[in-house]
Chain A
Amino acid sequence: MTIGELQKLNILEVVNAGEEPERELKGVFCCDLLSVAMGRGQEDAVWVTVMGNINTLAVMSLTDMACIVLAEGAVMDEAGMTKARQQGIPVFRTENPIFETALLLYRWIKEGNGAAVTENTGAEV
């Protein structure tokens, strides 16, 4: 699944669309601690986190992760928004919990269908 296709699914709110809609997503990564993300974040992964600041964006681009999904209703702060726009970094958000969000994305990315997750967890998407 590409970033553009993820956007079209309409399961996440688009904060900043970014400039690479054709970039292929290959996995999902979860952790809010930047050093852990730095060491373990995989190339082309979607990073589901609650940390919406400029440092998240720096770690994301240094590790070559593909986009950020802010879960649990987290928001990107103002400096982060400016940087995301300047550098064309894709950022999405959702009110749903991290686990459900990551599972849903995993199903879509790895299996091409996340509909069952929505039913089982009752997540409003």
Chain B
Amino acid sequence: MSDTIELKYEVSTEDFTRAGEASSDVKKKLRQMGVPPEAIRKVAIAMYEGEINMVIHANGGTITVLIDSECIDMTLQDRGPGIPDIEKAMQAGYSTAPDNVRNLGFGAGMGLPNMKKYSDEMKVETELGVGTRVNMKVFIPE
């Protein structure tokens, strides 16, 4: 498998019940490709957290996933308010999630820490009033 496969998803905020669909679809496709389960698990966790953040903190956006034999590369680009203090946002337990979202079980403030932990590389670029772009890479073991 030397080719690169590209998957693209629109993440909308309108339908909360669909949050997680992109991650589920990627998981399914990686399984079909025979990617090792541990790498799939890392991708599923990191991407789901990112997808949920796009839904609850930003106004949705797009996810692009590039897959080759060595790496799963995820880019999540949203149209949200941006993150004023990334260092603070990265702290375990820090969350600005509103009550209606917390009542659904979100807002533990563990999303960004999970993304950092389960991806092998992570880069966050954010601009206030414009949006946030998160790039995460999970390397596929030999």
Contacts and interface: CB of A to CB of B under 8 A. Distances in A.
A and B together in one complex: yes
Contact of A35 (B20, B24, B44, B111): B111
A35 B110 contact: yes
A75 to B, nearest CB: 14
A35 B19 contact: no
Given A34-B105, A51-B104, A63-B45, 9 more contacts: A34-B108, A35-B49, A36-B108, A38-B49, A39-B114, A54-B17, A58-B20, A58-B23, A58-B48
B110 A39 contact: yes
Interface size class of B (residues with CB under 8 A): 20 to 34
A58 to B, nearest CB: 4
B8 interface: no
Contact of A62 (B24, B107, B111, B117): B24
A61 B109 CA distance: 21
A33 interface: yes
A34 B114 CA distance: 11
Mostly, the A contact residues are helix
* B27, B105, B106, B110: residue with the most chain A Cβ atoms closer than 10 Å: B105
Contacts of A43: 41
Interface of B: 17, 19-20, 23-24, 27, 41, 44-45, 48-49, 52, 104-111, 114, 117-118
Given A33-B110, A39-B114, A51-B105, A62 B19 contact: no
Mostly, the B contact residues are helix
A20 interface: no
Contacts of A83: 17
A26 B111 CA distance: 26
Given A34-B106, A36-B110, A39-B117, A61 B49 contact: no
A59 to B, nearest CB: 7
Contacts of B49: 35, 38
